[in-house]
């Protein structure tokens, strides 16, 4: 096979599962197909917990896949690949080492001579805009400068492939834009020997401003669900119509729901459905924002993101919550209120709670299940561990806890059950129990 026809990275049908502490298998990645070609930057967008970091670690050879093939330049990956470097969200710099020493670390481990180490580190430090800070310590640097050290540490290895795991997301907007632009310049002007970059991001604009292709990753299990080619020259004008159009497209794809059949079909959620990490108060707040001008019931997603100043991850949890509760729908890059959503916005607090309760029991199996168990138990109480154990058939321990906590927050707001934080016991609300007892007495008398 000719060298040129070989992808930098080629993943075919990759599967990865982890064992939970209870020894259940949980599949995080399933059937992942992905190619990184020479000369391209690819961005990977997906919800948190969908397995993006796991996928990157597999690509870097840091952890093995359980199934499928992982090829680097046509050869099966057997361990950490020389030629592939990673940059993480926050770089663990060694606080007792200077910038220069931090940058040289990897070279030292690779057995590069002192003189060459110094020369290469100096060149990279200059390149990435850290000139003059060689002997500074990490604590003397701003977040943005520290992340530059992170990049320098990866670039000094002269990587063939650069894997970036949300490297800009811990930085403020301006700092992240500057660093992003600097990286694009280095790439465009071929000042780095890197042949391909994969960027994991949870920021749609960031992905569209950098990448040749944007991939949308799905969760449970994670796999590449859709691809959009950007095809605009870099650096890109983020205000141009062409750019906005692609951002819109990506938003639509990100929110398009594929599980449970085609569009418009009612989906069947399971007990293990990952309730979006948000609260009834925030859901109501977003509904109100959409209901009010300038949106008046229908909002362009990127515009809504701008208006609310919420990051994409937070917004997607909110969208998902409104969607599963039947309060809003998404189509063609817009989110709009359903009739139920409109009623909700107009309702008073008590009515809102009732509507929420009805929707929870109807749409969220976990909420319905908890309520059923409490209804059926003689004392109308159940320890949370009972539900945690059930959830752990679907989710890892910490996620099971997170999902149950969310269900409890939602259920308490809707007053379909109550929870005692001290004992970790779920119970029916007192007035519901009183009502039930009154009913029972009546039936007994009859």
Q: Name which position in 11, 36, 51, 329 contacts ligand ADP (CB under 6 A).
A: 51
Q: From residue 155 to residue 174, what is the string marking binding to ligand ADP with x (rule CB under 6 A)? A: --------------------
C-alpha count within 13 angstroms, C-beta hemisphere, residue 435 = 6
Determine the interface stretch with ligand ADP among 51-59, 380-388, 406-414, 437-445 (rule: CB under 6 A): 51-59
Q: Name which position in 48, 78, 238, 240 contacts ligand ADP (CB under 6 A).
A: 48
Whole-angstrom Cα distance, residue 50 to residue 65?
16
Q: From residue 52 to residue 71, what is the string marking binding to ligand ADP with x (rule CB under 6 A)? A: xxx-----------------
* β-bridge pairing 418-420 and 425-427: antiparallel
Comparing CB distances to ligand ADP, the nearer of 313 and 415 is 313
Residue of 238, 235, 237 lying closest to 203 (CA atoms)? 238
Determine the interface stretch with ligand ADP among 42-50, 88-96, 141-149, 240-248 (rule: CB under 6 A): 42-50
Residue 280 binding result from Mg ion, ligand ADP, none, given CB thresholds of 5 to 8 Å by partner type: none
Whole-angstrom Cα distance, residue 10 to residue 38?
11
Q: Is 53 a residue that touches Mg ion (CB under 5 A)?
A: yes
Determine the interface stretch with Mg ion among 47-55, 73-81, 111-119, 224-232 (rule: CB under 5 A): 47-55
Comparing CB distances to Mg ion, the nearer of 53 and 359 is 53
Q: Is 50 a residue that touches ligand ADP (CB under 6 A)?
A: yes
At 314, which helix (H) or strand (E)?
A: helix 312-324
- H-type alpha helices, 88-240: 99-109, 114-127, 143-155, 173-188, 204-210
Comparing CB distances to Mg ion, the nearer of 53 and 255 is 53
DSSP 196-212: EEEEEES-HHHHHHH-S
Whole-angstrom Cα distance, residue 239 to residue 331?
23
Q: Is 203 a residue that touches Mg ion (CB under 5 A)?
A: no
Determine the interface stretch with Mg ion among 52-60, 178-186, 214-222, 294-302 (rule: CB under 5 A): 52-60
Residue 396 binding result from Mg ion, ligand ADP, none, given CB thresholds of 5 to 8 Å by partner type: ligand ADP
Residues with Cβ within 8 Å of 204's Cβ and at least 6 positions away in sequence, in order, are 45, 247, 250, 251, 254, 302, 312
Determine the interface stretch with Mg ion among 53-61, 70-78, 108-116, 310-318 (rule: CB under 5 A): 53-61
Q: Name which position in 41, 46, 210, 278 contacts ligand ADP (CB under 6 A).
A: 46
Whole-angstrom Cα distance, residue 114 to residue 119?
9
At 58, which helix (H) or strand (E)?
A: helix 52-59
Residues with Cβ within 8 Å of 415's Cβ and at least 6 positions away in sequence, in order, are 353, 357, 429, 432
Please list every residue from 267 through 326 that binds ligand ADP, using CB under 6 A.
none
- Distance of closest approach, residue 86 Cβ to ligand ADP, in angstroms: 12
* Buried b or exposed e, range 294-304, using 16+ CB within 10 angstroms: ebeeebbbbeb
Residue 98 binding result from ligand ADP, Mg ion, none, given CB thresholds of 5 to 8 Å by partner type: none
- Distance of closest approach, residue 154 Cβ to ligand ADP, in angstroms: 18
Comparing CB distances to ligand ADP, the nearer of 48 and 113 is 48
User: What are 434-437's contacts with CB under 8 Å, separation 24+?
Assistant: 436/380
Please list every residue from 353 through 412 that binds ligand ADP, using CB under 6 A.
396, 399
Structure tokens belonging to residue 221: 């299990």
| Residues lying near Mg ion in the complex (CB under 5 A) | 53
């Amino acid at each position: 096979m000719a060298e040129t026809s070989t992808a930098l990275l080629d993943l075919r049908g990759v599967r990865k599962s982890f064992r939970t502490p209870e020894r259940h298998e949980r599949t995080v990645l399933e059937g992942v197909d992905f190619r990184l070609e020479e000369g391209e930057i690819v961005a990977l967008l997906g919800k948190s917990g969908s397995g993006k970091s796991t996928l990157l670690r597999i690509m870097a050879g840091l952890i093995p896949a359980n199934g499928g093939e992982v090829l680097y330049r046509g050869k099966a990956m057997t361990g950490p690949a020389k030629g592939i470097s990673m940059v993480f969200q926050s770089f663990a710099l060694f606080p007792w080492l200077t910038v220069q020493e931090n940058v040289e670390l990897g070279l030292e481990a690779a057995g590069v001579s002192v003189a060459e180490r110094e020369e290469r580190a100096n060149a990279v430090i200059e390149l990435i805009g850290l000139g003059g800070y060689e002997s500074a310590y990490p604590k003397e640097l701003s977040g943005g400068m520290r992340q530059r050290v992170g990049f320098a540490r990866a670039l000094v290895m002269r990587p063939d492939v650069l894997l970036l795991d949300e490297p800009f997301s811990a930085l403020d907007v301006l700092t992240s834009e500057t660093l992003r632009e600097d990286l694009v310049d280095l790439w465009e002007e071929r000042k780095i020997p890197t042949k391909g970059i994969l960027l994991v991001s949870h920021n749609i604009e960031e992905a569209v401003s950098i990448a040749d292709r944007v991939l949308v990753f799905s969760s449970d299990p994670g796999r590449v669900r859709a691809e959009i080619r950007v095809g605009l020259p870099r650096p890109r004008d983020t205000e141009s119509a062409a750019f906005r159009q692609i951002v819109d497209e990506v938003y639509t794809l990100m929110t398009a729901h594929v599980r449970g059949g085609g569009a418009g079909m009612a989906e069947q959620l399971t007990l293990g459905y990952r309730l979006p990490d948000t609260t009834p108060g925030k859901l109501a707040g977003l509904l109100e924002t959409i209901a009010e001008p300038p949106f008046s019931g229908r909002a362009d997603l990127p515009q809504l993101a701008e208006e609310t100043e919420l990051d994409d991850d937070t917004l997607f949890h909110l969208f998902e919550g409104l969607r599963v509760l039947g309060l809003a729908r998404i189509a063609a890059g817009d989110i709009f209120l359903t009739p139920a959503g409109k009623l909700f916005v107009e309702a008073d607090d008590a009515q809102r709670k009732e509507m929420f309760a009805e929707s929870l029991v109807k749409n969220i199996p976990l909420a319905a299940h908890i309520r059923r168990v409490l209804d059926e138990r003689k004392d109308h109480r159940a320890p949370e561990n009972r539900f945690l154990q059930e959830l752990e058939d679907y989710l890892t321990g910490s996620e099971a806890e997170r999902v149950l906590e969310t269900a409890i927050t939602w259920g308490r707001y809707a007053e379909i059950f109550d929870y005692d934080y001290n004992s970790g016991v779920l119970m029916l609300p007192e007035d519901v129990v009183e009502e039930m007892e009154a009913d029972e007495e009546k039936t007994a008398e009859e």
